[in-house]
Structure 1
C-alpha cells in the first residue's frame, strides 16, 4: 500500500506543480482556446491559483518524504481536493468536460485517506 500511495502522491504532485507553473507562463492562441475558463478570472486570480497548485504539489510529497511535519501531506492533498472541486464547478458551469478534475480529486482523497 505504501508504494501505491507514493505513486499517487508523486503523480498528484507533478500534475499540480506543472499545472501551477503553466499558469505563470504566457499563453499561445491555441492554449488560450483550450483554457477558455481563464476568461472568467483576472490575471492575479489565475496566478494565485497557480501558486496554490505549486505549493500543494510540493506539499503533497515533500513533508512525507523528508519526515519533517508529515501532517502537512494530507493537509496539502485536502487543499488540492478543494481546488479540484472548485475547478469542476467552474467547468460544469461553462458546460465543459471536468473528468480530469474528478480524477485528480479522487487521487487527492486517496492520499488524504492513506496518509492520515
Structure 2
C-alpha cells in the first residue's frame, strides 16, 4: 500500500506541477484560448497566477515533506486540500458545461482522497 500511495502522490504532484507552471507562467490571454481553460477569461490575472502558485505548492507538499522527513503530516493535509481544490474545479467546469473536465477532476479528487486517507490512516507518517 505504501508504494501505491507514493505513486498516487507522485502522479498528483506531476498534475499539480504542470497546472501550476501553466497558470503561473503562461499569459492569461493564451490560457483563455486553450480548451478547458476558458474560465480564465472570466477571472482576474491575480486569481489565475495565485491558483498557479497554490498548485506549485501542492506539488511540493505532496512529495517533499515525506521525502525529507520534515513535517510529513503535510502530505495528507496537502492531499485533503487538493480534494477541496478539485471540488471547486468541478463546480467551475460543470457551470461551463464541460462534463469531460468534471470527470477528470473527479479522478484527481479520488486519487487525492486515497492519498489523504492512506497517509492519515493505515500508512501514516505520524508516529
> What range is the shorter-chain TM-score in?
over 0.9
The 8 Å contact of residues 62 and 74 in structure 2, kept in 1 or not, is answered as: yes
Report the counterpart of residue 19 of structure 1 in structure 2: 19
Report the counterpart of residue 89 of structure 2 in structure 1: 87
1:56 to 34, 58, 67: 58
RMSD: 1.6
Structure 2 segments unaligned to the other structure (5+ residues): 121-127
Task: Quote the offset at 1:40 in angstroms.
Answer: 2.2
Report the counterpart of residue 42 of structure 1 in structure 2: 44
Report the counterpart of residue 104 of structure 2 in structure 1: 100
Structure 1: how far apart are the matches of 2:63 and 2:7?
A: 10
Report the counterpart of residue 68 of structure 2 in structure 1: 66
TM-score (norm 1): 0.93
Q: Decide whether aligned partners of structure 1 residues 68 and 39 sit closer, same or farther in structure 2, where only a CA change above 3 A counts.
A: same
Structure 1 segments unaligned to the other structure (5+ residues): none
Structure 2: how far apart are the matches of 1:103 and 1:13?
A: 14
- List structure 1 runs of 4+ shifted beyond 3 angstroms: 27-31
